[in-house]
Chain A
Amino acid sequence: VETDFHGFVAARSAALFRGALVLTGNRDAAEDLVQETLERACRKWRTISAKDAPDAYVRRIMVNLANDRWRRFRRTVPQPDGPERAASGDEYGQVDSRDQLVRALQQLPMRMRTVVVLRYFHDLSDIEIAADLDISPSTVRSQLARGIEKLRGQFPALSGPSPRQHTEGIR
């Protein structure tokens, strides 16, 4: 069982770290998050390793931990100034748009950001995201729509068709 856990860490920790990095926007926070996730996974490893997709289970631990941690973190530490700079119009065009997009992502509320990351980085469906976060698929859809609208609002040049047209198109 122990060897199995070692193998999992060797094979999957880099992918977990990348997911944590996109979610937190900070290397140190991502490293802490993955470390804590792996410690929790280790405690329940016998149960996790018996599951069909241990990977998905560990990712679920991580995103929920990130949400819990974010609530604690926000109470004590002011938000970093990085993401706020992304919103200022005068810098638009001077900084790489992808970098700005990631900074803008970090401005979203944690739950909304998690939904966006699970969809667009981890490529999960609404139902899978809903199961991971223990919320309903309709909540996932609304959080996703609002998250994308918020991001799109900051990057009109990247948006193509207006949000209204887009929404109408899918109904």
Chain B
Amino acid sequence: MTSYGDARPSGCTPFEEELMNAMNDYANASEAPGFDAPGIVRRTRRRRAVGIAAVATALILAGGGTALATSAAGGSKAAPSSSVAKSDAATMVYGFSDGGTVKIDFAGWYVGDAKNYMLKTQTKVGTITKKATPRCKPDSVIGVSPHAPKVVKKGDTVNFTVCAR
């Protein structure tokens, strides 16, 4: 067996043995530092929550901007997303594997944005039902199922009810 074949380096050349000894000596000369596992878990959890919150905020701001633009262009006939009553019916509670949860209020979101967001949470989009509702923006989300207080986890399917044109 040699260093060039597919076998392990047992029975290798003196040079290879010396290389192995050198690496082992070097590695064993330093004492390993302690790694703070609870700290790592806390940081990971915090980053995950901050990431989701940031995406949610960005999407909400984008939704608000779109509503403003529609309002400016369409005058009085525009139906701003904020007019949709915010209730638990359109709020999804997402549960992390570590037990933490975050509420995402989809009320007034454009359904396409909501679907993109679902990809990030690794949940599946189920049926999208259109419902004629007064004073809502077409294709904006007016309900999700399951909704709060039920918790949705990665891989679950979520159905949407959107405002009909």
Measured CB to CB, the residues of A under 8 A from B are 1-2, 5-6, 9-10, 13-14, 17-19, 21-22, 27, 31, 34-35, 38-39, 42-43, 46, 97-99, 101-102, 105, 116-117, 119-121, 123, 125-127, 137, 141, 144-145, 148, 151-152, 155, 158-161, 166-167, 169-170
Contact = CB atoms under 8 A, between A and B. Distances in A.
B37 A6 contact: yes
Given A39-B44, A125-B7, A105 B23 contact: yes
B19 A120 contact: yes
B5 A170 contact: yes
Contacts of A10: 37
Contacts of A105: 19, 22-23
Contact of B9 (A13, A39, A120, A161): A120
B2 A120 contact: no
Contact of B2 (A13, A27, A42, A170): A170
Q: Which applies to chain A's interface (DSSP): helix, strand, loop or mixed?
A: helix
Nearest to A142: B4
Contacts of A166: 2, 13
Interface stretch (B26-34, B60-68, B126-134): B26-34
Contacts of B4: 141, 144-145, 167, 170
A13 B16 contact: no
Contacts of A101: 18-19, 22
B117 to A, nearest CB: 19
A160 B15 contact: yes
Nearest to A2: B41
Contacts of B13: 160-161, 166
Contacts, number: 117
Contacts of B6: 125-127, 137, 141
B4 to A, nearest CB: 5
Interface residues of B, number: 37
9 contacts: A1-B98, A5-B37, A18-B30, A21-B30, A42-B44, A101-B19, A119-B9, A141-B6, A151-B15
Given A21-B26, A39-B44, A123-B8, A13 B35 contact: yes
Given A141-B4, A144-B4, A158 B14 contact: yes
Nearest to A38: B40
Nearest to A169: B2
B43 interface: yes
A22, A120, A126, A127: which has the most chain B beta carbons within 10 Å?
Answer: A120
A9 B40 CA distance: 10
B76 interface: no
B30, B41, B97: which has the most chain A beta carbons within 10 Å?
Answer: B41
A22 B19 contact: no
Given A148-B3, A166-B2, A120 B41 contact: no
A97 B20 CA distance: 13
Contacts of A42: 40-41, 44
B48 interface: yes
Contacts of A144: 3-4
